[in-house]
Amino acid sequence: MSVSGSAAASGSAPGEVPDSVLADAVMERLTALYPAAGNPFRAQEMVAYMKGVAPFLGIRTPERRALSRTVLAGTPRPGEDDCAAVALRCFALPEREYHYFAVDYLRRHVKRCSSGFLPVARRLVTTVSWWDTVDHLAAHVVGGLVAADPALASEMDAWIDDADPWIARTALLHQLRFKGDTDADRLFSYCLRRAADTDFFLRKAIGWSLREYAKTAPGEVRAFVADNRSLFSPLSVREALRHL
């Protein structure tokens, strides 16, 4: 199925942030509480650890999540447009903690989003792309959407060949939590289609996706790697077989 016209932006032009009273309230609280809890010295350490991908406020994860609970206290359950508005507005802010808030919010509420939310998820994957947000979006948001609507697997078939390695990585990782519901043929096909890539994050994702599926089907993964070992990088093979 095609999801080019996102239901998440009903009433809005593609790419625009939907109007949302809930998002207005959340963002007002968020942008008041998060900066006040920032630590400039810790922020420098976080920037260095994340290779300078984005500035940080300097809020550690446990404290950030406690603040997030305060931000969301008493707020109603969001609709799809609310989810899109909160996430897109957070990702429009420079500091990484806002992006983390958005990812956590979507992980919590992805079941309230339809297949039409996939273009929003793609936009987030391609915004300030790095593993710390992309991997959670892949496994919990994109994966959640595909699990709810298996027809979206055809979109993943396009994503795996995308020129953007983070989109391809998302396709590789979207089944991480599927366990026995994993489409093994699709997973193995994706790994083979990107096997020749030299990108570190794609090679790592190949191994990770296989290692995770090996928890469900160790024999299948062992046989697949044995049959195709010469095609994969040593990194991919090492990651795939780590626990086998």
pLDDT digits (tens, 9 = 90+) for 76-133: 999 999 999 999 999 999 999 999 999 999 999 999 999 999 999 999 999 999 999 9
Instruction: Report the distance separating Cα 212 and Cα 174, nearest Å.
Output: 11
Q: How does the average pLDDT of the chain come out, rounded? A: 94
Instruction: Report the distance separating Cα 61 and Cα 45, nearest Å.
Output: 14
pLDDT digits (tens, 9 = 90+) for 164-184: 999 999 999 999 999 999 999
Two tokens, residue 203: 């090679």
pTM: 0.93
Instruction: Report the distance separating Cα 141 and Cα 126, nearest Å.
Output: 14
pLDDT digits (tens, 9 = 90+) for 8-54: 444 455 568 999 999 999 999 999 999 999 999 999 999 999 999 99
Instruction: Report the distance separating Cα 106 and Cα 118, nearest Å.
Output: 12
Helix axes 184-193, 218-228, angle to 10 degrees: 30
